[in-house]
Amino acid sequence: MTATKGLEGIVAASSSISSIIDGVLTYRGIDIDDLAENATFEEVAYLLWYGKLPNRSELAKLQEQLDAYTAIPEGVIQQIKLYPKDTNSMAALRTAISSLALYDESANEMTAEANQLKAIKLQAQLPAVVAAFARIREGKDPIAPKKGVSIAHNFLYMLTGKDPEEVAVKALDQALVLHADHELNASTFAARVTVATLSDIYSGVTSAIGALKGPLHGGANEAVMVMLEEIGSFANVEPYINNALANKQKIMGFGHRVYKNGDPRAKHLQKMSQELGKLTGNLELYEMSIKIEELVTGQKGLKPNVDFYSASVYTTLGIARDLFTPIFAISRVSGWSAHILEQYENNRLIRPRADYIGPVNAKYIPIDER
Ligand SMILES: CC(=O)SCCNC(=O)CCNC(=O)[C@H](O)C(C)(C)COP(=O)(O)OP(=O)(O)OC[C@H]1O[C@@H](n2cnc3c(N)ncnc32)[C@H](O)[C@@H]1OP(=O)(O)O
Ligand SMILES: O=C([O-])CC(=O)C(=O)O
pLDDT tens digits, one per residue of 331-358 = 999 999 999 999 999 999 999 999 999 9
* Nearest atom, ligand 1, residue 253 CA: 9
pLDDT tens digits, one per residue of 163-204 = 999 999 999 999 999 999 999 999 999 999 999 999 999 999
Question: Which ligand is nearest the CA of 260, by number?
Answer: 1
Whether residue 120 sits in one domain with residue 55: yes
CATH number of the domain bearing residue 143: 1.10.580.10
Q: Which pLDDT does position 227 carry in this prediction?
A: 98
Rg (C-alpha) for the chain, rounded Å, is: 21
Whether residue 224 sits in one domain with residue 89: no
CA distances from 123 to 116, 159, 331 (A): 11, 17, 8
Atom 25 (ligand 1) nearest CA: 257
CATH number of the domain bearing residue 302: 1.10.230.10
Whether residue 150 sits in one domain with residue 29: yes
Q: Does residue 119's CB lie within 6 angstroms of at least one atom of ligand 1?
A: no
User: Of 316, 331, 355, at which residue does a domain stop?
Assistant: 316
- Please report, as a single letter, which amino acid is at residue 56: R
pLDDT tens digits, one per residue of 303-327 = 999 999 999 999 999 999 999 999 9
Is 6 part of a structural domain of the chain? no
Inter-residue contact 312 to 271 (CB < 8 Å): no
Whether residue 158 sits in one domain with residue 205: yes
Q: Does residue 271's CB lie within 6 angstroms of at least one atom of ligand 2?
A: no
User: Of 274, 295, 316, at which residue does a domain stop?
Assistant: 316
Q: In what order do the strands lie in the sheet with 30-31?
A: 18-21, 24-27, 30-31
Whether residue 181 sits in one domain with residue 231: no
Residue 245 lies in domain: 220-316
Q: How far is CA 180 from the centre of its chain?
A: 7
Average of pLDDT values for 48-64?
98
Whether residue 153 sits in one domain with residue 239: no
Average of pLDDT values for 36-51?
98
pTM score: 0.98
> Which sequence positions are flagged as catalytic?
256, 307
Inter-residue contact 73 to 103 (CB < 8 Å): yes
Is 86 part of a structural domain of the chain? yes
In eight-state DSSP terms, residue 138 is: T
- Evaluated on CA atoms 179, 180, 184, 186, the torsion sign reads positive
Whether residue 168 sits in one domain with residue 304: no
* Nearest atom, ligand 2, residue 186 CA: 3
How would you write 200-220 as a 3-class SS string? CHHHHHHHHHHHHCCCCCCCH
Is 370 part of a structural domain of the chain? no
CA of 250 to the centre of ligand 1 (A): 7
Q: Name the percent of the chain lying above pLDDT 70.
A: 100
Question: Which ligand is nearest the CA of 220, by number?
Answer: 1
CA of 205 to the centre of ligand 1 (A): 25
In eight-state DSSP terms, residue 89 is: H
Q: Compute the distance between CA of residue 121 and CA of residue 205 in angstroms, rounded to an integer.
A: 12
Question: Which ligand is nearest the CA of 222, by number?
Answer: 1
Is 359 part of a structural domain of the chain? no
pLDDT tens digits, one per residue of 202-243 = 999 999 999 999 999 999 999 999 999 999 999 999 999 999
- 1 pLDDT more than 90: no
Is 141 part of a structural domain of the chain? yes
Q: Does residue 253's CB lie within 6 angstroms of at least one atom of ligand 1?
A: yes
Q: Report the candidate in 107, 115, 101 with the shortest Cα–Cα distance to residue 73.
A: 101
Whether residue 203 sits in one domain with residue 93: yes
Is 198 part of a structural domain of the chain? yes
Whether residue 145 sits in one domain with residue 30: yes
Average pLDDT, the chain: 98
Q: What are phi and psi of 304, to 5 degrees?
A: -65, 145
Whether residue 163 sits in one domain with residue 79: yes
Q: What is the full DSSP assignment across 16-42?
A: SSEEEETTEEEETTEEHHHHHHH--HH
Q: Report the candidate in 294, 311, 284, 331 with the shortest Cα–Cα distance to residue 215.
A: 311
Inter-residue contact 225 to 309 (CB < 8 Å): no
Q: How confident is the model at residue 7 (pLDDT cuts 50, 70, 90)?
A: very high
CA distances from 212 to 186, 330, 336 (A): 7, 11, 11
Is 148 part of a structural domain of the chain? yes
Whether residue 46 sits in one domain with residue 170: yes
Q: Which pLDDT does position 217 carry in this prediction?
A: 98
Atom 1 (ligand 2) nearest CA: 185
Is 354 part of a structural domain of the chain? no
CA distances from 264 to 123, 126, 294, 323 (A): 25, 26, 17, 23
Number of domains in the chain: 2
Whether residue 112 sits in one domain with residue 205: yes
